[in-house]
Amino acid sequence: MNPQEILSQMTLTEKADLCSGADFWHIPGVPRLGVQPMLVCDGPHGLRKHIDSAIQAGFYEAVSTACFPPSACMANSFDVALEEEVGDALGKDCQAEQIGILLGPGANLKRSPLCGRNFEYFSEDPYLSSRMADGYIRGLQQNGVGCCLKHFAANNQEYRRLNVSDVVDERTLRELYLASFEYPIKHAKPWSIMCSYNRINGTYSSDNRWLLTDLLRKEWGYEGMVMSDWFAVNDRIAGIKAGLNLEMPGTDHDSNRQVELAVLEGKLSMEELDSVVLDTLKILARLPQWPENATLPWEKDHALARKAAAESAVLLKNQDGVLPLWDNQKVAFIGAFAKTPRFQGGGSSHVNAHNVTNSWDAAQGRFASLTYASGYDLSKDEDDSLIPAAVETAKRADIAVIFAGLPEHYESEGYDRTHLNLPPCQNRLISQVAAVQPNTVVVLMGGSAMVLPWRDEVKAILYLCLGGEAVGEAAVDLLTGAVSPSGRLAETFPLRLEDTPSYLDFPGHDDLVPYHENIFIGYRWYLARKIPVQYPFGYGLSYTSFSYANLRLSQSTITQGEAITATVEVTNTGSVPGAEVVQLYVADHSGRTSRPPRELKGFAKVFLQPRETKTVSLELDWRSFAWYDVQLSDWYAQGSFEVQICADCERVLLWAPVEAVSKIQRPLVVTRNSTLDQLLPHPVAGPAVRKLFAKAGITDEKLTHPDGHTLPLDYPIRNLRYEAQLTIGELEDWMEKLNQSIREAESCCE
C-alpha cells in the first residue's frame, strides 16, 4: 500500500470519512481502494477488547486477558528493561487478538496524589515517567503493532476534565508535563498519540495548533497520527487545522459532513485535509498480517505479571527484621484483600483479568499454621463489627499480616479522591491488632499515596500498589523471602494532604486550574520547602544491604552538545541476593534561576549476589543540567552543578562537581529598570556601565569591592542620570547605543 497513491485516488467524502472513527473502536479504512480498518483497544496493562468490537460495552463484557501491573506499580520497579518485557508481552497479546493499536501508556504526571487516575500514570517525576513509557512503547511496537501515548497534555485531574483549563507557564510545561512525553516520542516513536480532554491556557488540546503541530511535529519531529480521547473534540474543523488526525469514536458521520462542507465553502483547504488524512493512511499501511490460529499465552503472561508485581513492590518498613516470615511460624492473614485482592484501577483501563490469584490461596502449606479473619467489609468504610474477631485471631498467632488499602470505589477514572486516608475501619483494625500483636505486618494495596497514621505502631509495611492479576502470589513471594523487595517509590507519600504542592489550587475554580506551584511538584516541592514526608520519592528497603564507592565522571565540565558518563561501584553487603536501584540526581548550584535542590537524571537497577560488586554507568547529556529559559526559547545551563548518587531524593551518598558551559548567551535587553547585578557581569553591558560610572568619579575598584559598593546591586539604571549627571534624553540615547552593541556582539557570536 502506497499511502500517497491512495490519497490521490480518494474522493472528498472518503477523505472526510477518514477523519473520525468507523465506530467505537475502529479507525476507518477506504474499502473501495482496499484499505482495511484497524481495531484499537483500551490498555495499557491488558487488553480491554469488547466481545462486540464495534460498540462500547460494560467493563466485564470483554475478552479474558492477562492483567499486568498498572503503570503506577511498574514505575516503582525503576526497571526499564522489565517494562519493555511487559510491553513485548502485550504486543504479542495484541497480535493474537488482531489489535492494531493499544491505547497506552499514560505519561501524565502526578501533580496531586488526589487525581483519580494516578494508578494509570507512572510518576510525579518526568525523567522516570518518560523512560518507563519509552521502554513500554519499544517493547510493544517491536511486535508490529502500535501504541497510543496518552493523554497529551497536562491531563492531571479527573474533575471536570472535559472543561477545565490548566493555567500553566511555558517553563513548567516544558520541564515537567511535556518532558514526560518528549523523550518517548523522539526515541520510541509511538504510532499514535491521544490528545487530552482539557484546555491548556484556554485552548482545548484537540484545537491546539501550538501543541499538535508547532511543538509536536515541527519541533519534536513527530511523524505519527494524533487521535482524540473519546468525545474530546471541541471543534472538528479547528482540530484539523491544529493537526488532529482522527476524532474518536465515530459520530454517525455527522462531523465528517462538517469537514466536507468546510472544504466546499473554503473554510478548510484541501491541503490541510490531505495532510491529516495522509498521516492516518500511513498508520493503516502498517496493519500487519495476523498470525493464524494464535492464542494468548496465559501461563507465560501470568508468570511475567507475577515477576513484575514482585519486583515493583516497595518495602517501606522492616523493624527488627520481622520480614521475611519463617516456615515454622504461626501466621494470621487478616483483611478482605487477602482473599479478594485489589489489583487494578477502575475506568477504561479495567480489564477482564484471566487468572487473579490471592495471597490466602498462594500461602497454603507455607507455614506451621495459617489462619484468617476478614477484619473489614470492603463496602463499609465505618463498620468495626469484624475487628474483634480479627484481634482474637492475631493474638493466637506468632505474626499478623494485615492486607489493607484503598477499596475500588476510592480511585477511578472519572472522579478524583477527596482525601488521602484509608477507610476508617481499616485504620482502627490495624491499630487494634498492633496493640495486641507486637509482630504486625501491613501489606498495602492502592494506586496512589496514602496517609498511614499507624506506621509507627506496626513492625513492617509492604506496599504492593496495584500488582496485576498475580499480586496474591507475588505478595507471598515477598513475605517469605523468595524475592527480596527492590521497588522504590515513584511518588512521595506526604504526611498530610495540606502539605501537597497543589493543595490550594486542586481541582481549581470556575474551570480554571492555576499551577501556582510551577516546577515544584512532588519531591521537588517537599525538598525545596523542607517539608517532612512519610516516605520520600525513591525510597525503599531490601532484605539485604548495599554500599557505594568510587563515583567517577568522564569529565568535570560539560558544554552544550556533549555528554558525561558517571560510573559508581555498588556492592551487596548483606547475606541474601537482591537488586538495588542506583539513583543519580543533579543539583544546580549556579544560582541563575529558581530550581529544586536536586532532580532525578539517571537510574539503573542492578542485581547482586552477596558480597558481589558491579560498576554501574549512567550517561548525562546537556538536558540533564539545563532548565528551560523562556527568554531564549531554549534549554540553558551555566555555572556550577553537582552530580549526586542518592539512596532516595533526600539522602545523598556520593557527589562530584561539574561545570556547565553554555554555547549561547542569554539575550540582554537594557531597559530603564535593568539593575546593576544584571548588567555588571555582562561582557558588553558591564564595561559600558563601568565607563559611565568612571565619568562620575566612581572607580571600578570601589564599585566591585564586596564590602564597599557605592550603590546597591539592585539599583536600576533609570537613576544613573543622577549619578552620571545625564538628562533623560541622554540616558535613553545611551541605552539605545548599548542595546545596539549587545545585538552586534550576539550576532557575531552566532
The DSSP 8-state label assigned to residue 592 in this structure reads: S
The DSSP 8-state label assigned to residue 284 in this structure reads: H
Q: Is 510 a catalytic residue?
A: no
Q: How crowded is the C-beta side of 356, counted as CA atoms within 13 Å?
A: 15
- Taking CB atoms within 8 Å and a gap of at least 24, the contacts of 131-134 are 131/80, 131/183, 131/603, 132/71, 132/74, 132/75, 132/80, 132/83, 132/105, 133/105, 133/107, 133/180, 133/181, 133/183, 133/184, 133/188, 134/80, 134/183, 134/184, 134/187, 134/188
Distance, CA of 719 to CA of 721 (rounded, Å): 5
What grid cell was written down for 542?
Answer: 531490601
| Contact present, 653 and 645 (Cβ < 8 Å) | yes
- The most distant pair of C-alpha atoms in the chain lies apart, rounded to whole Å, by 94
The DSSP 8-state label assigned to residue 509 in this structure reads: B
| Contact present, 248 and 227 (Cβ < 8 Å) | yes
For residue 743, give every residue at least 6 positions away whose Cβ sits within 8 Å of its Cβ, in sequence order, or none: none
The DSSP 8-state label assigned to residue 206 in this structure reads: G
Distance, CA of 560 to CA of 637 (rounded, Å): 8
Match 511487559 to its residue by C-alpha cell: 86
Instruction: Write b or e for each residue in 40-79: b if 16 or more Cβ atoms lie within 10 A of its Cβ, otherwise e.
Output: bbbbbbbbbbbeebbeeeeeeebbbbbbbbbbbbbbbbbb
Q: Of 138, 121, 49, 41, whose CA–CA distance to 87 is shortest?
A: 138
What grid cell was written down for 584?
Answer: 543519580
Over 643-711, what HEC string results? EEEECCCCCEEEEEEEEEECCCCCCCCCCCCCEHHHHCCCCCHHHHHHHHHHHCCCCHHHHHCCCCCCC
CA angle 172, 175, 181 (to 5 degrees): 115
Question: Pick the catalytic residue: 166, 207, 229, 648?
Answer: 229
Match 467524502 to its residue by C-alpha cell: 13
Compute φ and ψ for 646, nearest 5 degrees: -125, 150
Q: Which residues are catalytic?
A: 229
